[in-house]
């Protein structure tokens, strides 16, 4: 009954980790995701970066990001398995689709609010192309007018 959601998995391995060991870890993560019917949308190796604080005598680490689409049970299994691996210094799994949904709802709310304000003023709900162009041109001129006149009000 679980739905498919999008997650970002980021883990850090020690900088002296070989490419073969890192590839083996990535194949194990892929095997876990396939077992749960999930898919890895994207994998990025961010390379060696300095850690914010020392973790187990490591000042640097190799960061790897996986964007995974799958069920919630996958996250608990990934978390359990990554805690056991000695190769993984730290890991974090974050649900991404919830943040995208919140941003989309906010965008729709702003757009409907703008449309209702425009209708109350007797304007069409959506700005016309001429209004969009004029607003863009006005934005460009504001900085120039301030510079020439010494401020918004000018010398009155």
Residue boundaries of the structural domains of the chain: 5-95, 97-126
pLDDT digits (tens, 9 = 90+) for 81-107: 999 988 999 999 998 877 777 778 888
pLDDT beyond 90 at 12: yes
- Which pLDDT does position 142 carry in this prediction? 52
Q: Would the pTM count as exceeding 0.75?
A: no
pLDDT beyond 90 at 31: yes
Range 49-66 average pLDDT:
91
How far is Cα 107 from Cα 109, in angstroms, rounded to an integer? 5
According to CATH, what is the number of the domain 5-95?
Answer: 3.30.70.60
Identify the residue with better confidence: 45 or 128: 45
Total number of residues shown for the chain: 156
Coil, strand, or helix at residue 17? coil
Identify the residue with better confidence: 66 or 154: 66
How far is Cα 116 from Cα 123, in angstroms, rounded to an integer? 10
- Which pLDDT does position 139 carry in this prediction? 57
Mean per-residue pLDDT of the chain: 84
Identify the residue with better confidence: 92 or 149: 92
């Amino acid at each position: 009954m679980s739905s498919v959601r999008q997650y970002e998995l980021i883990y850090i391995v020690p900088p002296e980790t070989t490419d073969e060991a890192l590839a083996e870890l990535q194949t194990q993560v892929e095997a876990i995701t396939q077992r749960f019917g999930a898919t890895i949308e994207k994998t990025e190796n961010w390379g060696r970066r300095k850690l914010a604080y020392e973790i187990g005598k490591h000042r640097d680490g190799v960061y790897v990001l996986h964007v995974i689409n799958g069920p919630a049970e996958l996250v608990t299994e990934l978390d359990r398995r990554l805690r056991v691996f000695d190769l993984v210094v730290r890991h974090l799994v974050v649900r991404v689709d919830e943040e995208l949904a919140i941003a989309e709802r906010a965008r729709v709310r702003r757009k409907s609010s703008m449309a209702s304000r425009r209708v109350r003023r007797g304007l069409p709900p959506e700005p016309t192309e001429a209004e969009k162009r004029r607003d863009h041109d006005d934005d460009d001129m504001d900085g120039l007018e301030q510079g020439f006149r010494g401020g918004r009000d000018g010398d009155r």
